Structure 1
Amino acid sequence: MASNILFLPFRRSHSVNLTDAIKQYISSKYDQHPDMFTKDLETIEKLRSVAVHAQEPHPSNIPKLQQYAAQLIWLSGKFPIDIGVEFPWYPALGYNTSRPTSRNNLRFELANIMFNLAAMYSQLAMSSNRSTPDGLKAAANNFCLGAGVLSHLRNSILPELRTEPPEDMDIMTLECLEKLMLAQGQECFWQKAVKDGLKDATIAKLAARVSDLYNEAGDAGIQSDAISSEWIHHMTAKHHHFAAAAQYRAACDTLEKRKYGEEVARLRDSLTCVNEALKEQRYINKLVLADLNGLKNRITEDLKRAEKDNDMIYLLPVPPKAELKILDRANMVVARVPKEIAESNSMLGERGELGPALFSKLVPYSVHLAASIYVDRRDRLVNNTIVEQLEALTNKIHEVLRSLNLPGSLQALEKPLGLPPGLVAHADEIRQQDGINRLLRSMEDTKKLMYTDQAIYQEGVQILRSEAAEDDGARRKFGTERWTRPPAEQAAPKLYAQIQEIDGYFRAATNSDDVVKKKLKENEYFIQLLSGPDHDLENYVPSGRRPAITGDVEREAGKLRGSFNEVSRLESRRRRKIEALRTKAKQDDINPELLREAARLEREFPMQTIEAVQFETLFDKRLQMYDADQDMVHDEENEQEAAIKRLQDANAAFLIARRGDQSTKKREQALQNLENAYFKYKEIISNLDVGRKFYNDLAKIVNRFRDEARTFAYNRKSEASHLENDLSTRMSSLGLQQATSDSLHQQKQADAQNPNYGATAHAEEPLAAPTPTRANMPSPAGMWTPEVGIRFSGVPTTSGNARPAAGPPQDGRWDPAQGLKFG
């Protein structure tokens, strides 16, 4: 249907399978099962289908596009831009609208929905009844909303597209369309002002702004490859049309103010503008042309009247155009982004206008990554900083006790016969844990983990070595000038750096394993005794006679026992603190706070992908809960130093009181060996647990290294294959050209030795066209032929003889009496 305004056509699309792609991504990247989101998957499929088929200009179709667009904006924080679906869309403008453009890009899908939303607003504006005030208001409002959507598409969505936009959605095309929507919206306000009979000065200001906007749209359209020449001619005609209308209304205003000379000047300029617009009459539709002709007739009539009145009555000077005051502008339109687009995330929810937010229970991958980062950081703080320091303090206690031969010296004195209760308790604990067998099994398990990690690591290294060897072979085959791609170590420096890094891990782990083996070897005999029955222990520990204990010895032994018990209680209390700290760390679940922070980021930055680095402030704040535990380490250290000092003083006094008493010396040493073996057993158990955890963690590293090596080698192999094919093709072509060149060279040499070569040396010069010749056939008697020429009777011949007076000529000359005869 012909109209004096333009509207945006819709972009079209085919159906796609979003469900499979989203399910596959959830399965591979999240810890949640995709079946948890069956309803959400069905909803997103339905929303897309409804939005894609909303191709009729009806107000009920606006929410369909807005709802799907809002979900796409929301999903940008949940899924990557390349989710794994090719979205096909046919261009709406330009000269190639029959071939779709497909992109694996969620933002591309969003951009197309936004374009269709703008098209919907423009078509609703066109379908409005612009003969009524309400219809004009509705049309102007829809044009402003359409311009706002196009502005949002250009400024907020295209910069995040990561690929080149389609031809009909590039920057200049969208700018042209946005200005066109604003121009047509401003035209509605101008038309309403005319209908309402506002002052000519006001109407002139409105028309001038319409002209400006059409001019801006046309300038942008010229720089676009998708805006048709028909549209550009339309916008150019409209620009001049409203420039003429503005000057005409300004002339009417000056007539009212009795500025008759200025009236003539403005009417003349108005006529010039309308004539400029009519230069486009071959390309514009009939309605636009009719508007121009109507305006021209009106201007022409008023100009004749104004010039006549001024020349005969007012006699005022007509100012040149350069002296005319530039008309003021009255802008009534602005690109207004619908709140359903600008604030879409705030309108999603169980009771939101745009429906519930889909996949709201799906934790973004970056949140999982952030949680693992926090756990690693927390565990390093707890285990490597706090617990490690506390255990170092405990080890210092054991070293001091061994150096003081405690508690063996006290046990030998207090219980000269049988086994001390403490030793029996230690032996029972080791037996329940299967003693030496447990250690051997743990060491064997740790060794298997190490071998498995080494095998995976070596597999990755071998993959890289094989790829490097193939690359070197190709470089030797084709040469460094042709085989231009960088060597593997330069192409993947981070991957190759992991080789040295992982190798360093294995060396450090091997050294630690050797230390553990040495500890076990040194204490294996005593651990086996503790693992065995009591009578083996009784046989090992010699029984002594009850010594005569003096008052001084008894008093100093009591003090030493008190100091020793104090140290033991300190160690037991510390052990409980370590267990409480580990329980605290185990129960430290940061996920709820991460989800709250992620939800806040999604609301405030809907188009921004959430990264783990955005949670650093939350990490720092959360780790402050362990500040008190770090302070506790210093308190423990101070308390332990004081307790050890008292123990050492008490032991020195005890030794002085027992000076010269050797009756329990052997029993003291045996008890002390078993006591030391018990603590070494506990230490080896702890070392093996750390080693097992280390190799389990290392397994993740070497598996990732091997997978990255496989991917890198596969990509390099594909790249090498393409490069080799290109080189082979080029070399074959060069070989063919060389063969042809050699053949031509040999031919030239043969031609040079040919004696006829000089005659044919210029064979390549253009040949002259052959001259046509007539066949040699005898002509009938008396018939003229071109070879004879034309000779008239009575004309002297070359011999000077005249023709006889009577009879036909006998020498072939033409006889006028015979007429003309052609062979």
Structure 2
Amino acid sequence: MAAPSSSATNIMLAIHEKKTVSVDLYRPLRNYIVFNYSEREAQNVEDDLETLKEMRNNIERFSAADSLSTRRDVLQNYFKALTTVESRFPISPDKDHVNSVTFTWHDAFKNRNKASQQNIHLEKAAVLFNLGAVHSQIGLACDRSTVEGRRQASHSFIAAAGAFAYLKDTAAAKASIGNSTVDVSVECAGMLERLMLAQAQECVFENTIAKGSTPGVCAKISRQAGLYYEEAVAALNIAPLSQHFDKTWMSHIQLKAALFSAEACYRYSLELHDKEEIGEEITRLKTGITSLSDAKKSAPRGTPQQILEAINKLESNLNTNLDRAMKENDRVYLLRVPPVTSLSPLPAFSLVKPMNMNDVLDATKEKMFSSLVPDNSAKALSKYTEMVDDVIRTQAEKLQQGSELARVNLKEMNLPDSILALEGHSVLPPALWEDVEAVQVSGGPAGLQGELQQLQDLRRVNHELLVQTEELLQKEASEDGQFRTQFGTRWTRPQSTTLTKNLQDRLNRFAANLKQAADSDGKIERSVKEHMPLMAILDNRPIESALPTLGRPIMSLDANEDAVVGGLKQSLRQLETLGAQRAGLEDMLKDMKRKDDILPKLMTFTGSSEDLFRKEITKYDNICQEITKNLQAQEQLLLQIQAQNSQFARTFNIEDYKASCEKCYKHIEAAIAKYREIKENINEGLKFYVTLQEAITNIKQQASDFSMTRSIQCREMIEDVQKQMSGLNVTYSHLSQRIPSQTGPANMATATSHQPPYYRQPPPPQGGGGGYVYPPQHSQQPGPGGPGYGQAGQPGWNGPYYNAQGQPPYSYPPNQGGYYKQ
């Protein structure tokens, strides 16, 4: 029958902490900062130096009054601070280093032994040792009479094992290089790790018994506890630990190893009894009894009474079950009892493992001394950044090449345009669509009639201005002729036709230009009418409505058109999904790079930076694999789409459709070319008429100024003639009735009667050509403003109507059409 655990009240071991002596960290570290950085930097990290000093003082002053959890937290924080200090302050006897700091620690098991080192490795090893010791004390303090207490104790022993494992793997070897104590050696740290795991497994075993688990499960857990104890015993039996620990330690651990080995035999025998494997049961029971008997014989005086009681109780249970099994075998089963050497080792199952202290003691998030970055760390970080950039660049190029490959392949297969055409959504090539849009925005062929009307209106306005200007000059010439007839030789001023010859010539040229422009306008109108059927396609809105459509075959042999289209659509959707995934992967790459700050890890990492880089760069492996999978999937999908598109092309006669589209595209291109040609001619004509209107308006103003000036001269000359013809019956009032009143008041005629000349040339107009200037005319060479005209009011300007050959720029030689292209 099953019995309660014989170890339920067993005592366990806890470890005392190491002791240290005082050391000043504040002043040496501050001096190093001032010397290697600056006084300003030292002031910036003043708070960090004070915090580090306070942590070290707390480590030195630990007492029984401090709670175990407080001591644990202080040790963890101080270790992380030490990791930060190690990366920024070289502590060694070197004259360029922090050489005035010496750490001294006593052995935890032999307090008279102590070690001193001028480096941080002994300090870190001692702190890790004390952290494991505090965790062991927390586990020992738990109430193991309850399920929750045993669970908490197991967790604390696991944490202690983690601290000793961390000491063994990271700090013990470095601390052992110089003068050090045995307690922080690799061998001692490994032994303590096994011991803590054994005690954690023991707590699990006690809870397993309390829950009433099967004997087979209990046997496996008990056997693993025994194995952990046996490993600790093996470590204690070899140097340097064999002579370092008190005999009671060795006895305790040996008795525990025997106890749990026998416990496993006892629990396993219960399972064998239920299976009626009595022969093996007898052997297992005898093995357990022998193990306990040997352990008791070697136990020294002073062995804890609780352990001896547990051993005696278990031994009694083993003997009771052995007697029962032997009697049943002799009376009922008559099975052969196998020798111990023929049996396989008892199965074991571990439910504990050392706590991973990497996260607990991770110093990468520590802000202490974060502003101090040594040159070697900055250079190392630059190398890692180059590694990351190379990965990002390579993968980004793969993604871009994948997207470009998909685009080119689809374009070659005319996808998805063919699918859209089947659904009545034909599309133009992007460049051609932009040209059509530009035509439609400018009014399109339908708007050409309005622009032709503008040409007609401007031509009419120019013609009216010419007529008005001619009438002004003719009226003035007619009046001058009447006075010349009336006064004969006494009317001595120059004739109007002589003075206005230049104006008349220019007006004649403008009239010729207008006539030729009218001919060109007619050609434009005929061209619009002739090519409107060609250009009418451009008035379709949207232009896609004018494109041919892809229709289903008139006769279907197997009625699988829908399946062909559906399969191709599905593949295109999958390709689009892959494209979206690539966009997401590219964003992930950029985000990973943005967040990839390994400087804190680099500053606290104690190994080779190359090892850290190789480890850190692996974080990009997953996304690189995803990119490779995406591109491989796209490659397969494009092959599938190519096959599906070939079937689609055969089913819907895509070649004929493409030929129709090409024909339509050429029609649209020709319509655009013709529209642009006509539009350019119209724009040239509009520009011509606007320029000509300005020129005619200027000539009209000159003619008006000329008429007004001649009227004033006429009044003055009449006064002079009246004085010479005082005997004639010609009165001033009678004559003045025949002179148009274009000037100021009537007394202007007498204002200058004292001036003797009969004819006086008026002064030139002020303000840039507001009045008419009598001959001589300026040079007829073209002005500096380009072919045909210079700037109004400047020398050499004869209006915007002459080209470099002295001909009107808007004359139209035969077969050229003037400013209108044919």
TM-score, normalization by structure 1: 0.44
Highest RCO, 1 vs 2 (Cα 8 Å, sep ≥ 6): 1
TM-score, normalization by structure 2: 0.44
